[in-house]
Structure 1
Amino acid sequence: MEPALKLLSDSGLKCEQTNFREDLSVFVCTAYVNENLEEIKHFVAEGGGLLIGGHAWWWAYTNPGQNVLTEFSGNKILTQMGLSLLPATIGGGSYKAPVPSQAVKDSYHFRHLLSRFAAHVTTDESP
């Protein structure tokens, strides 16, 4: 965490190395944290910021036979927010960001699908 602390401090942010506390604006931690998982989830749900980093692929490699989605401590926090770290890696290279209007059409976001379904039911329109 020392390099992250230095980088953030050098950027002009007020930072301190500490354990999790409720009075923080943003909590920065690795994805390997096993303490205070419920408190961190509650902190974020109440509007606190979370900057978390780590490698699920490394965890999967060093913990064979365990499920990354359910056993990896980073995912125990992130899945509550609709995010998950996977054990796979991708090759190096450049990847284009999706066009936002197309990404919405292609996504499986529940609220978007519910809205489309409601429009179909109430106006007899096909999506």
Structure 2
Amino acid sequence: MPQLAFVHTFWTDYEQLDKPVRAGVRKAMAKFQSLTVAELYADKGLGLSVARMARDPRMRTIRITAFWRGVLLAPDDGSETFLLRLHEAPDGLDGYLLTLTPRAPAASGPPSSRCCRTTRPCSGPPPGSSP
């Protein structure tokens, strides 16, 4: 089962997101907890796809809402995927993806040493946030 991890800085801006966007993040969390890698790619609602504009071939995007996309770093084995940030689609998404350059293999550790993993139920918002 794949795991979705969040770069620590993701939660800094979470509170400022509109309720539908926060709900979309929680939905994505739940899907990563319940689906296999193949099912994640097949899920039409999630829209998991390779980020074609990225320089790093491990970059992926997911649909959070009709107007927001999540930017992911996915290792080749699909075991643990990191949600780096959200972007309004398509505004700025391609430009952001172009700034990301390949680094060390994902297997060598998370993109940030301060990372949170989804180990709690996804029925509500993260601790300390308002619904």
Q: What band does the TM-score fall into relative to the shorter chain?
A: under 0.3
The answer to which structure has the higher strand fraction is 2
The answer to which structure has the higher helix fraction is 1
Greater relative contact order (CA < 8 Å, ≥ 6 in sequence): 2
Find the structure with the greater CA-based Rg. 1
* TM-score, normalised by the number of residues in structure 2: 0.24
* TM-score, normalised by the number of residues in structure 1: 0.24
